[in-house]
Amino acid sequence: MRRLHVLAVTPEVFPLVKTGGLADVAGALPLALRELEIDTTTLVPGYPAVMAALTGAEEVRAEPALFGGPARLLRATAGGLDLLVLDAPHLFARFGNPYLGPDGRDWPDNAMRFAALGWMAAMVAAGGVVGIAPDILHAHDWQAGLAPVYLRYQDGSHQDGPHQDGPHRGGRHRGGRRPGTVITVHNLAFQGIFPAELLSALGLPPESFGIDGVEYYGSIGFLKGGLALSDRITTVSPSYAAEILTPDGAMGLVGLLRTRAGVLHGILNGIDDTIWNPAADRLIASAFSVTRLNRRARNKAELQDRFGLTAGPDTLLLGVISRLTAQKGLDLLLADIGILAELGMQLALLGSGERAMEAGFQAAAAAHPGHIGCIIGYDEALAHLIQAGADALLVPSRFEPCGLTQLCALHYGAIPVVSRVGGLADTVIDANEAALTAGSATGIQFSPVTADGLGGALRRTAALWRDQAAWRKMQRNAMKHDVSWRRPAARYAALYRDLVRERTA
């Protein structure tokens, strides 16, 4: 089998820069693909955290004027990945969240910042860097959405020469054939929509502003363009792939997505089990495994201590690790927070996001000392301890493309209590009568996603907890569930190979 070469384009990659699940995917998928004869080079923006982590950086291209300033493309390694880094200080030398300024709002020049990423990707894909000849250009989310767009318009009649502050045509494709293009939607809620007036500043030709290009209800849609012009579309679970073909789930893109349903695939995410491995996790108080489950108790004690909860092994401890936004549905828990005391449960919540929700959980913790603990912030180590010490992990999302926290929870024996949507529906086996009889349950699912639905799920959870033998069985099932990248990586590999075959046929 010929080795394939993929150019992955992503605005974040673990362990260098992460705001959510996309970073985990971008960091782990290349490692899993390597064993399947697929090499990945990952193109990322040169944020300060990325620049600081590089080893052996070598300049492979210089652009004197890329969207308003000089830029360099560096080839380097970090975090076990082969990287191309877009070092453009005028766009990316900013600390903190990659998308938001210090006032918590989008950077005003985000269109230019991520157009630069897409443009550079297209240039590399077209053969603009010696020694890199990708078979596949794989763009992740709206921030990379223009990569397949620039690549497509290089192909066609748009032959303008370089212009000073915009992207200009890069190199030549190998044998005149452009690489196959794939775009992955990690969350359709984020689409990268910008004013139409930016079209020429973005270096996009007038003909790109149409129904088959970047035009989106009179504006420019980065994700929309990528979805319209990529050879394949993937999203991160089969259920979410079906949901985004419905008017409710498609977030304004139902027409386009339905016309492209034939090339749309749902491929679940995995987790990196070298980072998430309860038997060798140095971020937790006590390593454990499915055959040494009793060692989990020390993590629970430590977690109760960290969150100021009353010590005790018998109280069901519910964990939450989440962005606090409407998507994640945690306002449903706040709406009826008294239910936790009623059911004799504790809550350890780690999260950050909308101020009102942060304040709501802080107030709940103050009102229920010893029963509700809340830490506002982002803390990777504490996330590990929650997975290792909580008895159950709550994920009540209104929609969830894949979700990673429930996968980690399965692996760490924290029983996931999840809404029946998207990837949550595809990864958790509900403890209904059939599954309990078959001995296959791994968690609790609920629907509809309302405060009542959640209340019902918490009551079922409390009832299951009272049967400790059944609970242990569920925990063991959960920990044996395959959450690795093995199966998902094989599906990406098959998709890439299929596309390469199609394009060379």
| Shortest separation between residue 387's beta carbon and ligand ADP, angstroms | 8
| Shortest separation between residue 283's beta carbon and ligand ADP, angstroms | 11
Q: Between 380 and 452, whose beta carbon lies closer to ligand ADP?
A: 380
Rounded distance, CA 329 to CA 341, Å? 20
Amino acid at position 38, single letter: I
- Reference 357, options 377, 330, 384, 393; nearest CA is 330
- Cβ atoms of residues 54 and 78 within 8 Å: yes
- Cβ atoms of residues 53 and 19 within 8 Å: no
Q: Which residue's CB atom is positioned nearest to ligand ADP?
A: 21
Q: Between 277 and 352, whose beta carbon lies closer to ligand ADP?
A: 352
- Cβ atoms of residues 400 and 411 within 8 Å: no
Q: Between 299 and 322, whose beta carbon lies closer to ligand ADP?
A: 322
Residue numbers of the site for ligand ADP (CB under 6 A)? 20-21, 24, 321-323, 350-352, 378-380, 383, 402-405
Does residue 104 sit in helix, strand or coil?
Answer: coil
Q: Between 374 and 462, whose beta carbon lies closer to ligand ADP?
A: 374
- Reference 271, options 400, 417, 407; nearest CA is 407
Pairing of strands 232-235, 264-266: parallel
| Shortest separation between residue 383's beta carbon and ligand ADP, angstroms | 4
Q: Between 325 and 440, whose beta carbon lies closer to ligand ADP?
A: 325
| Shortest separation between residue 261's beta carbon and ligand ADP, angstroms | 24
- H helices then E strands: how many in the chain? 19, 18
Instruction: Give the distance, in angstroms, between the CA of residue 95 and the centroid of all CA atoms in the same chain.
Output: 21
| Shortest separation between residue 116's beta carbon and ligand ADP, angstroms | 24
Element housing 77 (H / E): strand 71-78
| Shortest separation between residue 68's beta carbon and ligand ADP, angstroms | 30
Rounded distance, CA 37 to CA 234, Å? 21
| Shortest separation between residue 14's beta carbon and ligand ADP, angstroms | 8
Q: Residue 482 is encoded by which pair of tokens?
A: 């395959």
Q: Between 107 and 190, whose beta carbon lies closer to ligand ADP?
A: 190
Q: Residue 108 is encoded by which pair of tokens?
A: 């005003």
Q: Between 213 and 270, whose beta carbon lies closer to ligand ADP?
A: 270
- How far the first Cα of the chain sits from its last, in Å, is 16
In eight-state DSSP terms, residue 13 is B
Q: Between 78 and 402, whose beta carbon lies closer to ligand ADP?
A: 402
| Shortest separation between residue 318's beta carbon and ligand ADP, angstroms | 16
Instruction: Give the distance, in angstroms, between the CA of residue 322 and the centroid of all CA atoms in the same chain.
Output: 13
Pairing of strands 71-78, 193-194: unpaired
> How far from 257 is each of 166, 208, 226, CA to CA, in Å?
30, 18, 12
| Shortest separation between residue 251's beta carbon and ligand ADP, angstroms | 15
| Shortest separation between residue 375's beta carbon and ligand ADP, angstroms | 8
How many CB atoms sit inside 10 A of residue 7's CB?
Answer: 25
Sheet order of strands, 215-216 included:
193-194, 219-221, 215-216
- Reference 249, options 423, 456, 453; nearest CA is 423
Q: Between 351 and 360, whose beta carbon lies closer to ligand ADP?
A: 351
| Shortest separation between residue 325's beta carbon and ligand ADP, angstroms | 8
Q: Between 380 and 498, whose beta carbon lies closer to ligand ADP?
A: 380
Rounded distance, CA 151 to CA 239, Å? 30
- Cβ atoms of residues 179 and 127 within 8 Å: no
Q: Between 182 and 350, whose beta carbon lies closer to ligand ADP?
A: 350
Q: Residue 82 is encoded by which pair of tokens?
A: 């082969």
Q: Between 143 and 322, whose beta carbon lies closer to ligand ADP?
A: 322
Q: Residue 493 is encoded by which pair of tokens?
A: 């590999």
Does residue 375 sit in helix, strand or coil?
Answer: strand
- Cβ atoms of residues 173 and 126 within 8 Å: yes
Tokens 């069901």 sit on residue:
316
- Cβ atoms of residues 119 and 76 within 8 Å: no
Q: Between 181 and 322, whose beta carbon lies closer to ligand ADP?
A: 322
